[in-house]
Chain A
Amino acid sequence: MRVNRASDGRANLHVWREGREYWCQKSPVFLKEWTNIQFSLSPRPADGRVNYHDLRQPLRFADATFDAADATHVFEHLTTEEGRRFAGELYRVLKPGAVCRVSTPDLERICRDYLRWLEQCLKEPSAKNLYRYHWSVWEIFDQIVREKSGGRMLEALQRPDLDVEFIEERYGDVFREFYGKATAEPENGAGDVTRGSALGRLLARPPVEIPAVIYRKVKTAVTSHLRGHQEAAVQDHPRQSGECVKWMYDRVSLRLLLEGRGFEKASVKSCSESDIVGWERYNLSRSNYGNYAIDTSVFVEAKKPRASSMGTTP
Chain B
Amino acid sequence: MNVTRATDGRANLHIWRTGESYFQQKSPAFLKEWTNLKFSVLPHPEGGAIQHYDICRPLPFPEDTFDSVYALHIIEHLTPEEGGEFVAEVFRVLRSGGIFRVSTPDLEAIVRAYLERLDECARQPTKRTIVRYDWGVLELLDQMVRDRSGGLMRETVKQGHFDAAYSRERYGDVFDEFYRPPSPGRHEPVRKIFFERVSSKSPADLLRVICRRLKGMIFGWLPSGKSRAVYEDPRKTRESNLWTYDQLSLRLLLEEQGFEKFSVKSYSESDIIGWERYDLDRSTHGDHSVEPSLYVEASADKETTSQHQGCR
- Residues in chain A within 8 A of chain B (CB atoms): 79-80, 107-108, 111-112, 114-115, 118, 121-122, 125, 130, 133, 137, 140-141, 144-145, 147, 245-248, 250-253, 256
Q: Which residues of chain B (254-312) have a CB below 8 Å from chain A? A: 311-312
Contact A121 B248 (CB under 8 A): yes
A142 to chain B, nearest CB (A): 10
Contact of B133 among A130, A246, A252 (CB under 8 A): A252
Is there an interface contact between A144 and B144, defined as CB atoms closer than 8 Å?
Answer: yes
- CA distance in complex: A60, B118 (Å): 36
CA distance A245 to B141 in the complex (A): 10
Q: Are B144 and A130 in contact (CB under 8 A)?
A: no
Q: A111-B115, A118-B248, A141-B244 are in contact. Are A252 and B121 (CB under 8 A)?
A: yes
19 contacts between A and B (CB under 8 A): A80-B152, A108-B115, A112-B115, A115-B111, A118-B108, A118-B246, A130-B312, A137-B249, A140-B140, A141-B141, A141-B243, A144-B144, A145-B242, A246-B145, A248-B141, A252-B121, A252-B122, A252-B125, A253-B137
Given contacts A251-B122, A252-B121, contact A144 B145 (CB under 8 A): yes
In the complex, chain B residues 85-139 whose Cβ is within 8 Å of any chain A Cβ = 107-108, 111-112, 114-115, 118, 121-122, 125, 130, 133, 137
Q: Chain B's interface: helix, strand, loop or mixed, by majority?
A: helix
Contact B114 A111 (CB under 8 A): yes
Most chain-A CB neighbours within 10 Å: which of B107, B244, B246, B248? B248
Contacts A130-B312, A140-B140 given; does A145 touch B248 at CB 8 Å: no
* CB atoms of A256 and B141 under 8 A apart: no
Which residues on B sit within 8 Å (CB–CB) of A125?
A: 248, 311
With both chains docked as a complex, state the minimum distance between the C-beta of B43 and any C-beta of chain A, in angstroms: 24
CB-CB < 8 A to A251: which residues of B? Answer: 122
Give me the 10 closest cross-chain CB pairs, A-B, nearest first: A111-B111, A144-B144, A252-B121, A246-B145, A252-B122, A145-B242, A141-B144, A144-B145, A121-B248, A252-B118
Binary contact track B220-247/A, C-beta < 8 Å → 1, others 0? 0000000000000000000000111011
